[in-house]
Chains A and B, each alone.
Chain A
Amino acid sequence: MSGCGSASGPKEKDNGSSSTKLVVWDWKSGDATAASYVQKAKADFAKKHPDTTVEFVAQPFDQYYTLLGAAIQSGKGPDVMLFNGGGQIRDRVDSLVALDEFVGEDRQRLAGWDAFSKDGKTYAAPVTLQGHPIYYNKALYTKAGLNPDNPPTTWADFLANCAAIAKVGAKCFAQGNKEGIAIQFFMSGLGSGILTPQEYDDWIAGKRNWQSPNVKRLFELWKEVNDAGLNTDGANSTAMFNDAFGMFEAGKAAHMIGLMSDIGHWKDFNEFLKPENVGVMIAPVVTTGATPSLPYDGGIGYGVAKWTKDPKLAADLVRSLTSTDALAAFYADAGAIASDTTIDVSKAGAAVSTIVADLKSGKPALHVALSSKTIDLMGRLSQQLLSGSVTVDNALKQLAASDKPA
């Protein structure tokens, strides 16, 4: 009974694609907001390859990786497929074609390649960017007598602003940690103001020192902020999605470490707070020597399956899916920050302009570099830190142990 077979199926692959037809799997093409994006990408590809038909198959997102896993195991999956950046694609690079020789021309125009790379090779081209800007409510700043166009740049100034905001009946941070994910946003949103640039780069490169004073400071700050009553009440029982975002949108808190695309982003906030009240700031400096930057990675991107008959043809389709025209349509309709840095975003409001301007100096987000095992543990430890049932030192010890390769 022991040890034969595997829980995730066989590894054999065969060729299931057609040379005159390319099949694309994603979870976006079924959305109304992505219709013109898909149309523009298809038109661009049809110009270059009129004999090839392209079929988009939209899968439900909550089942996507399960279905893709089954397709990969059978070797009969799509030719081109959509991935989230980070772990989801890195776990599956064995089934993908390295795209470096095909996408050279797009290197400069698109941002966010790192999230789709492993061991120096690129496995997908980025469509959107995902990151964690600190949004603030300019109306609350004005109400508290603060200058809404001059957000704080140091932690001391930030705390002074929070004190003024408390006087007008609002909290400093909209926070929800029921799922344990708030600390991921906190870590990436404020991390560049805490770690030195060298520590930051080392962290992303996998050289993480969990016992360093600045890493310790990050976790101490997470606890201090809550203990000082700067978070909205009951963070551990409030869901980040969508309750905590709802609190920010309702003006119950002045700051929110949010997202750049999909949900909890500038477009959602614009709708509730009005575009002129949605501000974006870079992390305030908490420790000397830190150089704050916008934390962001590639959001979603298209890759090419190893079993496709003509990898160059499929890579051309990926290039069409990341063409400026197509991405401009995606940005305009879906509200996502597209990976193309040449798109004109001046009409979307000040928040987007600030985010796009910060992309050049931005760096990958700290939490995205962690394994899902460490992320899961960090979520539970963050709840224990807030309730006081674990010390920062103990939490760091557990995280350091979990961050080692098994």
Chain B
Amino acid sequence: MSNTISRPSVRRAAAGRAGAGLRGERLAPYVLVAPAILVIVGLRLWPLLLGVNFSFTGDGERDGASVGLDNYADLFRDPLFQTALRNVGLLVLLLPIAVAIPGLLATFIYLRVPGHRFFRSVYFFPAVLSPVIVGAIFNLLLAFDGPVNAVLGSVGLGPIDWLGDPHVAMFAVVGVHVWATFGMALVVFLAGFATLDGALLDAARVDGASLPQTIWHVIIPGLSRTIQFVFVTTMIGMLTSMFGLLYVMTSGGPEGSTYLPEYYIWIQQGQMNRPALASAASTVLFVIMLVVGLLQLSLLRRAVKES
């Protein structure tokens, strides 16, 4: 057979094979990525779209009927949801403190304060506790007749209704959340310190810089990327993982002052039997997370460019 084939036809056949190979090569990435895409579309995007779709339907007697933007109107009229959104704003304001605490403690450990090895493990310890356990412990400590108020009483202060005063409760819960989670940020900071140039610190010492000056002029600029990373992860942690603590410590109270969107969604879906309204609240939370995430990403990019 091969004897009868002319040279041009061999070239054509070779070109055909090469063409098929090229097409295969072009398609291969899509084929390889397809399972992942299918999983993402089927298990992430499709449920997300269903959730958004449900948010345009009614609850109770109007179950299944199209209600347009009624759920969203209800949501933004609900003072409880407004409080939940205000609390998201409060978390953003408290974020620098939540980042500064592990940053400062990591600095002290890096500068080898006496007992730094002991502190390193102690600071990390709460990170391995479940929020439910942490909440239960602090419920006992912060009870009106609990040990914290007893200590305050012995020095002539208080008592403070830590979890029963609407002006205090949110700060108490955020404080406990920071206590329980700063260990992770501390580890990230310590990893960042490992990349810091020791010569710069030595130079600062030789020049007679004080501790605040060293932190401000050497450590913070040297760790800018680490700080940005901790900002992003701490914010995500605050917005998405405070449910357990809120559930155990305040149940959203007193007066609804400790509601966050996540808790609101759970109450509407589980307790009030209003899944469509809960879907609308989920959609709003999704948009908030998207905006916060994109803002943080752009900040991060700008910071990296500057450094």
Residues of chain A touching chain B, judged by Cβ–Cβ distance below 8 Å, are 1-8, 11, 66, 91, 178-180, 233-239, 243, 372-373, 376, 379-380, 383-384, 387, 389, 406
Decide yes or no: A233 and B144 within 8 Å by CB, A8-B63, A387-B255 being known contacts. yes
* Chain A hits for B164, CB < 8 A: 178, 234-238, 387
A178 touches B163 (CB 8 A): yes
* Chain A hits for B53, CB < 8 A: 1-5
Give the distance to chain A from B67, nearest Cβ to Cβ, in Å.
Answer: 7
The number of A-B residue pairs with CB atoms under 8 Å apart is: 110
Q: Let me know if B66 is at the binding interface, CB within 8 A.
A: yes
A238 touches B143 (CB 8 A): yes
Residue of A nearest to B142 (CB): A237
Interface residues on B, range: 35 or more
* Chain B hits for A384, CB < 8 A: 255
The 8 A-B pairs of least Cβ separation, nearest first, read A3-B66, A234-B144, A237-B164, A6-B64, A236-B164, A7-B275, A237-B163, A7-B54
Give the distance to chain A from B145, nearest Cβ to Cβ, in Å.
Answer: 6
B255 touches A389 (CB 8 A): yes
Give the distance to chain B from A264, nearest Cβ to Cβ, in Å.
Answer: 17
* Chain A hits for B67, CB < 8 A: 3
Mask: chain B, 260-287; 1 = CB below 8 Å from A; 0 = not: 0000000100111101101100000000
Give the distance to chain B from A383, nearest Cβ to Cβ, in Å.
Answer: 4
Residue of B nearest to A233 (CB): B144
Give the distance to chain B from A174, nearest Cβ to Cβ, in Å.
Answer: 13
A237 touches B66 (CB 8 A): no
A1 touches B144 (CB 8 A): no
A2 touches B255 (CB 8 A): no
Q: Let me know if B254 is at the binding interface, CB within 8 A.
A: yes
Residue of A nearest to B49 (CB): A1
- Choose from A4, A6, A373 the contact partner of B272 (Cβ within 8 Å): A373
* Chain A hits for B65, CB < 8 A: 3, 6
Decide yes or no: A7 and B250 within 8 Å by CB, A2-B53, A376-B271 being known contacts. no
Give the distance to chain A from B170, nearest Cβ to Cβ, in Å.
Answer: 13
Interface of A is mostly: loop
Give the distance to chain A from B265, nearest Cβ to Cβ, in Å.
Answer: 12
Residue of A nearest to B65 (CB): A3
Give the distance to chain B from A289, nearest Cβ to Cβ, in Å.
Answer: 34
Mask: chain B, 158-198; 1 = CB below 8 Å from A; 0 = not: 01011111100100000000000000000000000000000
Q: Let me know if B153 is at the binding interface, CB within 8 A.
A: no
Q: Let me know if B157 is at the binding interface, CB within 8 A.
A: no
CA distance A91 to B271 in the complex (A): 13
Residue of B nearest to A10 (CB): B64
CA distance A243 to B142 in the complex (A): 14
Residue of A nearest to B59 (CB): A7
- Choose from B60, B63, B255 the contact partner of A383 (Cβ within 8 Å): B255
CA distance A243 to B235 in the complex (A): 33
Give the distance to chain B from A229, nearest Cβ to Cβ, in Å.
Answer: 13
CA distance A180 to B57 in the complex (A): 30
Give the distance to chain A from B146, nearest Cβ to Cβ, in Å.
Answer: 9
Which parts of B13-68 form the interface with A (CB within 8 Å)? 49-50, 52-54, 56-57, 59-60, 63-68
Q: Let me know if B253 is at the binding interface, CB within 8 A.
A: yes
A91 touches B273 (CB 8 A): yes
Residue of A nearest to B53 (CB): A1
B145 touches A372 (CB 8 A): no
CA distance A120 to B49 in the complex (A): 42
CA distance A3 to B179 in the complex (A): 44
Give the distance to chain B from A345, nearest Cβ to Cβ, in Å.
Answer: 34
* Chain B hits for A233, CB < 8 A: 144-145
Q: Let me know if B256 is at the binding interface, CB within 8 A.
A: yes
A1 touches B52 (CB 8 A): yes
Q: Let me know if B224 is at the binding interface, CB within 8 A.
A: no
B56 touches A1 (CB 8 A): yes
Q: Let me know if B251 is at the binding interface, CB within 8 A.
A: yes
Decide yes or no: A380 and B253 within 8 Å by CB, A4-B66, A178-B163 being known contacts. yes
- Starting from the known contacts A1-B49, A178-B163, 8 additional A-B residue pairs (CB-CB under 8 Å) come to A6-B64, A8-B275, A180-B253, A234-B161, A373-B272, A379-B253, A380-B255, A383-B255
Decide yes or no: A380 and B256 within 8 Å by CB, A4-B53, A7-B59, A91-B273 being known contacts. yes
